[in-house]
Amino acid sequence: MASPSAPARGPGPKLQKVMVAVDESDCSHHALEWALRNLAPTIAPPLLVLTVQPLLPLGYVSAASFGSPLGTPVVAPELIQSMQEQQQQLSKALLDKAKQICAQHGVAVETMIKVGDPKEMICEAAEESKVDLLIVGSHSRGPVQRLFLGSVSNYCMHHSKCPVLVVKKQE
């Protein structure tokens, strides 16, 4: 008698284009680690990792642009350039750390830096990159802090055109 053959299996799970937004917080790196531990087999390479440099405070830029009544800038252009360079170095360091984490999990990664309001830039980058899933960490702020500081994860959940996964770090 012939033995029954194994059931036919489909072509496996559909790979998804995934983006993880990181900043200097532990919670964003926790979100990246979580994604790599739990979703790596379903991620279409490369995993996109994004960081956003906030714009310099308007006061610095406008004071330097328009100068004081005496015609001398309130903030020297060299100081603004130095602050921009520090932001670039911080962003590069964040993305280098993310690359190392991805390498430890054997996942190919592509990094990008945007400049602007983080919550808006994250949603914009996800849309431009046509990702299937956006992953962000949660700072676990209370309602008062969220009121004054805003919530990037909350904004992304309501404004992103793709599904958003918010990863909370357990206490």
Per the structure, the complete domain to which residue 115 belongs is given by 18-52+91-168
Tell me the pLDDT of the chain averaged across its residues: 82
Higher pLDDT, 83 or 33: 33
Edge to edge, the sheet with strand 109-115 lists 109-115, 47-53, 18-21, 133-138, 164-168
Report the range out of 59-63, 121-125, 167-171 with the highest average pLDDT. Answer: 121-125
In this prediction, what percent of the chain has a pLDDT beyond 70?
74
Question: Which of 109-113, 114-118, 166-170 has the weakest average pLDDT?
Answer: 166-170
Question: Which of 36-40, 114-118, 144-148 has the weakest average pLDDT?
Answer: 144-148
Tokens of 93: 């360091």
**Residue 72 placed within a domain:** no
**Residue 117 placed within a domain:** yes
Looking at residue 62, its pLDDT comes to: 47
Q: H/E element holding 171?
A: none
CB 43 within 8 A of CB 18: yes
CA distance 109 to 48: 6
Query: Per the structure, how many domains does the chain have?
Result: 1
pLDDT at 1 over 60: no
CATH classification at residue 27:
3.40.50.620
Higher pLDDT, 4 or 152: 152
**Residue 129 placed within a domain:** yes
**Residue 12 placed within a domain:** no
Higher pLDDT, 46 or 5: 46
- The answer to whether the pTM exceeds 0.85 is no
Confidence of residue 135 (pLDDT cuts 50, 70, 90): very high
pLDDT at 73 over 60: no
